[in-house]
Structure 1
């Protein structure tokens, strides 16, 4: 059973998310917080498997709350999925750097939300197509962005298949979609993606996408 905390300053959104997740047999909502500071306090005292974190809140926002949670719990113990409207938020990269494990749009459907939680809880990273596009867009908009040659050399260690899968991941495709395209099993795709993350030092799929762009592997 995956324990989840919902963090959002809008009560109706928390109610909606809870209703969706309580319909899942393997996911249990154990806590809610209406602001980032309260979330930090609750997680410090009683850690959960996954935090669904709104990025824009009064007081301390989702980026700062993520950073403070990471001061207490690493990404192996408490996973953090940032919920955001990607076309409006310029803080996606900041949340990634603060320690977020995944990103989902507030407009995702119930199935994608539940699957994203399962993916992150299992050691992967939730990254929808919209999230991947927005993440790359924000990286591209950073002033003075050039190919990081040192980072690019780490991608030389990837096999041809691993590079293919990294590019597919960067396009926002799920393990199942990549598996169907490449005639592989989803487990094999996940294995290749995990090996690629290890080789380039990426924490999760979101960071892998950012690294792939910074290394010039995708544009």
Structure 2
């Protein structure tokens, strides 16, 4: 049974999330917190497999709470899935850097949400299309950042096809869309993406986009 802690300052949202999570046979809510400070206190006595984290909260926000949890608990012990509104919240990249393992929009349906929680709990990363769009939008707006020579060197080690897949990921395309453009299967695209992530030291697609940006790879106009 995967145990979940819900961290959100809105009681009605916590209640809705609890209903969805507890209805799944493989998930159970073991704690709820209305802010980051309460979440950190609860973690001292009840350590969940996954923390479902809001971003905007009073006191310390979800980014700082994520950073403090990650400083105290490695990803192998506690996973963090951020729930936020990507078209309004510009803290997605900050949360990623703080140690979040996944991102979902608060409008995500129950099936996708529970699948994402289980995916994160299994040690993988969960990134919704909205999260990719938010990250791509962030890097597209910030073109003045200089290229990191070390990052560029790591990306130079990719094969031509891996580099092609990375460029399309940076453009915000999912595996199915990339597969359609390259006339290959989505599984093949996933394989190329995973190999690229391994070569550049990215733990997930979000970090791959961030590092590609640092290497000077930008989405098209």
TM over 0.5: yes
Q: How many Å separate the matches in 1 of 2:191 and 2:2?
A: 22
Q: How many Å separate the matches in 2 of 1:52 and 1:165?
A: 30
Number of equivalences:
216
Task: Check conservation: 1:147, 1:214, Cα contact below 8 A.
Answer: yes
1:207 is displaced (CA, Å) by 1.2
If the length of structure 1 is used for normalisation, what is the TM-score?
A: 0.85
1:179 is displaced (CA, Å) by 9.1
What do the CA deviations read for 1:78-135 (whole angstroms, capped 9, x no partner)? 1111111111112111111111111111111112212222222222222111111111
- RMSD across aligned positions (CA): 2.4
Compared CA separation, residues 135 and 153, structure 1 to 2 (3 A): same
Q: How many Å separate the matches in 2 of 1:116 and 1:28?
A: 14
Q: How many Å separate the matches in 1 of 2:160 and 2:23?
A: 41
Flag structure 2 segments of 5+ consecutive residues without an equivalent.
none
**Corresponding residue number in structure 1 for 2:148:** 148
Q: How many Å separate the matches in 1 of 2:60 and 2:48?
A: 20
If the length of structure 2 is used for normalisation, what is the TM-score?
A: 0.85
**Corresponding residue number in structure 2 for 1:60:** 60
Between 1:177-186 and 1:196-205, the stretch displaced more is: 177-186
Say yes or no: does 1:41 pair with 2:41: yes
Say yes or no: does 1:213 pair with 2:213: yes
The alignment partner of 1:131 has SS state of helix
Say yes or no: does 1:3 pair with 2:20: no
**Corresponding residue number in structure 1 for 2:30:** 30
Larger radius of gyration: 2
Compared CA separation, residues 31 and 161, structure 1 to 2 (3 A): farther
**Corresponding residue number in structure 2 for 1:132:** 132
Task: Check conservation: 1:35, 1:59, Cα contact below 8 A.
Answer: yes
**Corresponding residue number in structure 1 for 2:90:** 90
1:28 is displaced (CA, Å) by 1.9
Task: Check conservation: 1:126, 1:206, Cα contact below 8 A.
Answer: no
1:158 is displaced (CA, Å) by 2.6
**Corresponding residue number in structure 1 for 2:118:** 118
Task: Check conservation: 1:124, 1:205, Cα contact below 8 A.
Answer: no
Task: Check conservation: 1:9, 1:34, Cα contact below 8 A.
Answer: yes
What do the CA deviations read for 1:41-92 (whole angstroms, capped 9, x no partner)? 2224332221110000011110110011011112222111111111111211
What do the CA deviations read for 1:150-187 (whole angstroms, capped 9, x no partner)? 212212223344434444544252x6x3797465475x
Q: How many Å separate the matches in 2 of 1:71 and 1:57?
A: 20
Aligned 1:102-113 pairs, distance under 5 A: 102-113=102-113
Q: How many Å separate the matches in 2 of 1:143 and 1:167?
A: 16
